[in-house]
A and B are shown apart, each in its own frame.
Chain A
Amino acid sequence: MVEALLFFAPASLIIIGALIVIFARNPVHNAMGLVMTLVSLAIIYITLNATFVAMVQMLVYAGAVMTLFLFVIMMIGVDKKEQSTDSIKGQTFLVSGVFLILISLLAYVAVSSDFTWDLWFPPVEYDVEGTPQLIAGVLFTDWILPFEIISILLIVATAAAIALAYDIKKRSSNA
C-alpha cells in the first residue's frame, strides 16, 4: 500500500510536470514543470533504493542544469512572444509522423514481449542499496573504459563550447 502510494504520487507528478513542459506558454513555467518532473523522478529513485542516483539527480539536473536553464531564459528575456509559425516547412506533419512511428514501435514491443498491465507491482525485497561505494566500485573497475571515454568526450565538448563562444565574442568586438 505504502509502496503503491510512493510510486503513484511522484509518477503522476512526473506526468503533470511533463505536460506543463509541453503545453505551458510561459518559458519559466516550462522550466519549473521540468524541475517538478526531475525532482519526482528523484523520489522514484529513492523508493528503488538508489539513494546515490537520486541525490545526483537532484544535485545535477534539478539543481545545476535547471538553474542554468532559468538563467538563460531570463537573460534572453521571458516576455518574448512564442513563435507560432513553423520554422521548418512541414514541421507538424513530420513530427506527428515520427510520433506515430514511435507509438507503433512501442506497441509492437509491448505486444511481442507479453507485456501485462500489472500495475500493482509484486513486492520485491531490495537487499542492495545503491550507495556511493557500490556505484564507485562498479564504475571504476568493470566500466572504467566507457567512463574514461565519456570524460574525454565531455572535456572535448566543453573545450569546443568555449572555443565557439570565444570566437563569436572576438568577431563582434571587431565589428
Chain B
Amino acid sequence: MSTELIIALIKASLVLGVLLTNTILLIWLERKLVAGMQSRVGPDRAGPFGILQTVADAIKLLLKEQIMPLKADRAMYLLAPILALVPSFLIFMIIPLGPDLNIEVGGKDYVVDFVGADLNVGVLYFLALSSIAVYSVVLAGWSSGSKYPLLGGVRASAQMISYEAAMGLSLVPVILYSGSLSLVDIVSSQSGNLSTSIPILSSIVSFIPKWNIFPQFIAFGIFFIAAVAEVNRAPFDLVEAEQELVGGFHTEYSGFRFAMFFLAEYINMFNMCAITATFFLGGWLGPTFENFLPPVLSAIMPIIWLGVKTFLLLFIFVWIRATLPRLRYDQLMELGWKRLIPASLVWLILSAIVLGLREFGLPWS
C-alpha cells in the first residue's frame, strides 16, 4: 500500500514538474520559431538564445498587481483560472509514456508503469475533460463583467461544442481499429509493421510501422484540425482575437491569474499533441537500440520517441499559426458543422464497413 502511494506521489510530482518545464520551453520555442518564420530575431536577451525569457516573464507576472474589475462576479472570476488548469493536468495523467519497467529496489522487484493511470475508458476520459475545459473560458469571459471578454466567452462555447463533436467522431474509427478505449492498449495495438494481402505491395508496406495514421489518415486530418480548434490556436483563435476583442476572454485578468490561463493554454497544446501522437503516431513506440545503448538510455528511449513525435506536432501547430490567417466566425462554424462532422461520419461508416468485411467476410459468402 505505502509503496503504491509513494509511486503515485512520485508520478504526480513528476507530471507537475515535466508539464511546467515543458511549458517554459514550449513558449520560448514558439516565440523563436514564429520570429524565424517572420524574419525577426525573437527573444535573445535573457540567457543563451533567450531561453530564460519565459522564466523572466513568469516572475514578472507573479510579482504584478492583480486587478479585479468592479463589475466582476467574484466567485466565478476567481474560479475560472483554476478550472482552466485542473483539466489540463488531469488529461496528461492518462498518456502512456513508455512500456512497463521492472526495477529492483532493495532486493525487491517493482513494476513501474509509465502512465499516470491506465483507464479502460481512457478515450472517454480525455473527451470528458476536454469538454470540461470550456467552462474556464466561458466563465472567465462572463464573470469579467466586460463586453469583449463576454464576446470571447460566447464564441468559445459555440466553437468548442462544434469541434468537440468532430473530434469525438474522428476518434471512433481509431477505437474500432484498436478494439479498446484504453490508451495503453491503443498504443500497443500499433506495434509491428503494416501487412497486406496484395503480394507486390507487401514487401514495400512491411517496412512501414503499423501506426494508425496510415490506415486512418482522414481521421488524423479531422482530429488534428479539431485539436487546433479545441485549444483555441490560430487560425481558430477567435476566442482571443486581439484585433477584435482586445485580449478575448482573459482581457480583464492580470498577474498570476493571467499566467494561469497562459499556462493552461500551453499545457493543453502539449497534451493535445501528445494525445495525437498516442492515437495516430504510435505513442512511445520506436526503436530502443537495446544492442548498442546502455540499459538506462534504452529504457528512456520510449519517452524520447514520444517527445520527438509530440514536438514535431507542436512545430506544426506553430507553423500553422505563423502561416494561416484567422477564420471568420461563419467560416469557422461552416467548417465545423458542414465539413468536418459529415466527413468524419462518412469516414466512420467506411472504416466500419472495411473492418466488418475483414472480420466477417462478404455478407453473401
Partner of B150, one of A59, A64, A71, A74: A74
Stretch from B35-43, B57-65, B152-160 at the A interface: B152-160
Alpha-carbon distance A78/B158, docked complex (angstroms): 17
Residue of B nearest to A35 (CB): B135
Contact yes or no, A67 B161, CB < 8 A? yes
A28 proximal to B (CB < 8 A) = yes
Number of A-B residue pairs with CB-CB distance less than 8 Å in the complex they form: 75
Given contacts A67-B131, A132-B121, contact A28 B142 (CB under 8 A): yes
Whole-angstrom distance between the Cβ of A43 and the nearest chain B Cβ: 12
Alpha-carbon distance A75/B121, docked complex (angstroms): 34
B124 proximal to A (CB < 8 A) = yes
Alpha-carbon distance A70/B150, docked complex (angstroms): 12
Interface string of A119-158 (1 = CB under 8 A from B): 0000000000101100000000000000000000000000
Alpha-carbon distance A52/B132, docked complex (angstroms): 17
Alpha-carbon distance A149/B16, docked complex (angstroms): 47
Alpha-carbon distance A71/B164, docked complex (angstroms): 15
B181 proximal to A (CB < 8 A) = yes
Residue of B nearest to A53 (CB): B121
Residue of A nearest to B161 (CB): A67
Contact yes or no, A63 B132, CB < 8 A? yes
Whole-angstrom distance between the Cβ of A71 and the nearest chain B Cβ: 4
A102 proximal to B (CB < 8 A) = no
Alpha-carbon distance A129/B120, docked complex (angstroms): 10
B322 proximal to A (CB < 8 A) = no
Residue of B nearest to A28 (CB): B142
The count of chain B contact residues (Cβ–Cβ below 8 Å) is: 28
Given contacts A28-B142, A64-B164, A67-B161, contact A52 B121 (CB under 8 A): yes
Contact yes or no, B131 A63, CB < 8 A? yes
Alpha-carbon distance A104/B330, docked complex (angstroms): 54
Partner of A32, one of B76, B132, B160: B76
Contact yes or no, B150 A58, CB < 8 A? no
Contact yes or no, A71 B161, CB < 8 A? yes
| Complex interface: chain B residues within 8 A of A131 (CB) | 120-121
B293 proximal to A (CB < 8 A) = no
Residue of A nearest to B151 (CB): A74
Beta-carbon contacts under 8 Å, B92-144 to A: 119-121, 124-125, 127-129, 131-132, 134-135, 138-139, 142-143
Interface string of A57-98 (1 = CB under 8 A from B): 011001110011011001100100000000000000000000
Whole-angstrom distance between the Cβ of A115 and the nearest chain B Cβ: 34
Main secondary structure of the interface of B (DSSP, over half): helix
Whole-angstrom distance between the Cβ of A36 and the nearest chain B Cβ: 11
| Complex interface: chain B residues within 8 A of A62 (CB) | 128, 131-132
Whole-angstrom distance between the Cβ of B92 and the nearest chain A Cβ: 17
Alpha-carbon distance A171/B120, docked complex (angstroms): 50
Residue of A nearest to B168 (CB): A59
Contact yes or no, B157 A74, CB < 8 A? yes
Contact yes or no, A64 B121, CB < 8 A? no
Contact yes or no, A67 B119, CB < 8 A? no
A11 proximal to B (CB < 8 A) = no
Given contacts A74-B154, A74-B157, contact A59 B73 (CB under 8 A): no
Contact yes or no, A74 B161, CB < 8 A? no
Whole-angstrom distance between the Cβ of B267 and the nearest chain A Cβ: 19
Partner of B128, one of A28, A58, A74: A58
Whole-angstrom distance between the Cβ of A32 and the nearest chain B Cβ: 7
Alpha-carbon distance A32/B157, docked complex (angstroms): 14
Alpha-carbon distance A35/B181, docked complex (angstroms): 25
Partner of A55, one of B128, B135, B160, B161: B128
Contact yes or no, A132 B181, CB < 8 A? yes
Partner of B76, one of A28, A75, A132: A28
Alpha-carbon distance A70/B76, docked complex (angstroms): 13
A–B complex contacts, Cβ < 8 Å, 10 sampled = A28-B76, A59-B124, A59-B127, A62-B131, A67-B134, A70-B135, A70-B142, A74-B154, A74-B157, A129-B120
Residues of B participating in the A interface, judged by any CB pair closer than 8 Å:
73, 75-76, 119-121, 124-125, 127-129, 131-132, 134-135, 138-139, 142-143, 150, 153-154, 157-158, 160-161, 164, 181
A-B residue pairs, 6 tightest by C-beta: A63-B131, A58-B128, A55-B124, A59-B128, A71-B157, A55-B121
